[in-house]
Structures are given as C-alpha cells and as structure tokens.
C-alpha cells in the first residue's frame, strides 16, 4: 500500500488527531507534513484538495478532513 499523508499545523487538535491516525493505520503507513513549517507544501496540499488541517490524504487521492484545526488559508504566511 502506498503511504497516506497526514497534514497538520501543530495545533492541539492536529496533534491529537495525529496520534489517533498513527495508532490506527500504523506509523509506517503515513507520512507527516507540518504545513506551518513546510510552507512549500501548501500549494501541493491545496492541489490535492486540502481545505483545512488536520487532514489525511489517502493513497487513492481522497482527502479526509478530520475534526477542524485551521483553514489552509490561515496557514499562508
């Protein structure tokens, strides 16, 4: 299986969801990207369909927006 990508921005909601996702699907199956620190990934994430963080981009290209931490618009510095 290809890896999923978990996008977050370091907020408490994100960190909590990250722990849950890792324990559910396994650390080896998910790449973690902190959009607050990796600004160059914001455009990539948006193109993939990301609207908010935390969110999980699945191997088949679907975006699962989980709870609600922050709008992706708010991450653009």
Site for its own copies, rule CB under 8 A: 4, 16-17, 20-21, 23-25, 29, 56, 58, 60, 62, 64-68
The residue with tokens 């370091």 is 10
**Total Cβ atoms within 10 A of residue 44:** 15
Beta strands 4-8 and 52-57 are antiparallel
Structure tokens at 58: 């699945």
Nearest approach in angstroms of CB 60 to its own copies is: 7
Nearest approach in angstroms of CB 2 to its own copies is: 11
Pick between residue 39 and residue 64 the one whose CB is nearest to its own copies. 64
């Amino acid at each position: 299986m290809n890896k999923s990508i978990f996008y977050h921005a370091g907020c408490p909601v994100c960190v909590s969801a990250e722990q849950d996702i890792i324990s559910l699907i396994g650390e080896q199956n998910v790449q973690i990207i902190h959009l607050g620190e990796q600004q160059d990934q914001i455009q990539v994430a948006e193109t993939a369909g990301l609207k908010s963080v935390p969110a999980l981009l699945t191997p088949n290209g679907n975006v699962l927006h989980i709870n609600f931490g922050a709008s992706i618009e708010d991450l653009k510095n």
